[in-house]
């Protein structure tokens, strides 16, 4: 595992506390409604979305939830590197071939990872709302939370496809990097596919914390 997992390397630090607070906020946001599949959607490439998704998955598992972390970024996958896992099979092979999802143990109790898997050619060819919906339905039966790490909203259409099939979306905004207009554009894109935006998280508000704030 890499230093990006600050919730493990420094479990009592400011960053770990911030992710714990985010987990608590999400718990409250799902009261009275079903929110199992959750997309972490960065506005642009400046936000360290993969690290945020991995650390949130860790604290959720540590709290006793059954968590599946999906690397839905078939263009620049990172979760296999963060957790030190094989990328020979993953989401791409499952989308293309079906069968049981090739989940891998993360080494953390309660947390399984579906890495991106190998991709050749255009990843969009593997993605469709119908196919993603079917695969998420399978994962939903195996976990309390399914967290999805997808490409930035404004970069490609992948995030909008994931959002259309997810129960909720948390928008990731890079402090000092994401422009207000871009954040609004990303929100508009997500609303255009009827995504349920649960709130927004400001990343790197302070280097010591790494994540700050959660607001609807």
* Cα separation values, 84 from 35, 76, 78, 104, Å: 28, 16, 10, 11
Model confidence pLDDT, tens digit, residues 75-103: 999 999 999 999 999 999 999 888 999 99
Task: Quote the pLDDT of residue 209.
Answer: 41
Closest by Cα among 10, 9, 40 to 23: 40
* Cα separation values, 85 from 54, 105, 160, Å: 13, 9, 27
Task: Quote the pLDDT of residue 213.
Answer: 44
- Summarize the confidence of residues 107-112 as an average pLDDT: 97
Which residues lie closer than 8 Å to 18 by C-beta, 6 or more apart?
209, 210, 211, 212
Task: Quote the pLDDT of residue 214.
Answer: 40
Residue 117 falls inside a structural domain: yes
- Strands 104-105 and 111-114 come out as antiparallel
Task: Quote the pLDDT of residue 122.
Answer: 80
For residues 35 and 167, which has the higher predicted lDDT (pLDDT)? 167
Query: 206: how many CB neighbours lie within 10 A of its CB?
Result: 13
Checking if the pLDDT of 3 tops 80, the result is no
Contact 56, 22 (CB under 8 A): yes
Confidence of residue 1 (pLDDT cuts 50, 70, 90): low
The two structure tokens encoding residue 146: 């399914």
Burial class (CB in 10 A: 0-12, 13-18, 19+), 31: exposed
Interatomic CA distance for residues 65 and 216, integer angstroms: 23
Checking if the pLDDT of 44 tops 90, the result is no
Q: Which residues pair with 190 in a beta bridge?
A: none
- Summarize the confidence of residues 93-119 as an average pLDDT: 94
Residue 204 dihedral angles phi and psi, to the nearest 5°? 60, 30
Model confidence pLDDT, tens digit, residues 141-177: 999 999 999 999 998 889 999 999 999 999 999 877 7
Domain hosting 196: range is 6-215
The two structure tokens encoding residue 83: 């957790």
Residue 1 falls inside a structural domain: no
pTM to 2 decimal places: 0.91
Whichever domain contains 34, its CATH number is 3.40.50.300
DSSP at 22: H
Interatomic CA distance for residues 108 and 194, integer angstroms: 34
- Summarize the confidence of residues 42-71 as an average pLDDT: 93
- Summarize the confidence of residues 54-64 as an average pLDDT: 96
Residue 165 falls inside a structural domain: yes
Confidence of residue 207 (pLDDT cuts 50, 70, 90): very low
Confidence of residue 120 (pLDDT cuts 50, 70, 90): confident
Number of domains, the chain: 1
Model confidence pLDDT, tens digit, residues 176-206: 778 889 999 999 999 999 999 998 888 875 5
């Amino acid at each position: 595992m890499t230093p990006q997992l600050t919730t493990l390397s420094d479990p009592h630090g400011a960053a770990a506390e911030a992710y714990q607070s985010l987990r608590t906020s999400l718990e409250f946001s799902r009261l009275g409604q079903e929110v199992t599949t959750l997309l972490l959607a960065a506005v642009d490439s400046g936000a360290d979305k993969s690290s945020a998704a991995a650390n949130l998955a860790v604290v959720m598992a540590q709290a006793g939830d059954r968590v599946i972390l999906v690397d839905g970024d078939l263009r620049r996958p990172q979760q296999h590197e963060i957790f030190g896992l094989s990328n020979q099979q993953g989401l791409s092979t499952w989308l293309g071939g079906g069968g049981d999802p090739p989940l891998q143990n993360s080494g953390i109790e309660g947390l399984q990872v579906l890495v991106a898997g190998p991709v050749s050619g255009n990843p969009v060819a593997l993605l469709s709302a119908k196919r993603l919906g079917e695969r998420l339905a399978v994962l939903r039966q195996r976990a309390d939370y399914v967290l999805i790490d997808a490409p930035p909203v404004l970069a490609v259409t992948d995030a909008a496809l994931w959002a259309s099939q997810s129960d909720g979306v948390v928008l990731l905004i890079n402090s000092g990097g994401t422009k207000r207009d871009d954040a609004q554009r990303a929100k508009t894109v997500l609303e255009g596919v009827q995504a349920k935006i649960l709130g927004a998280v400001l990343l790197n508000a302070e280097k010591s914390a790494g994540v700050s704030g959660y607001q609807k």
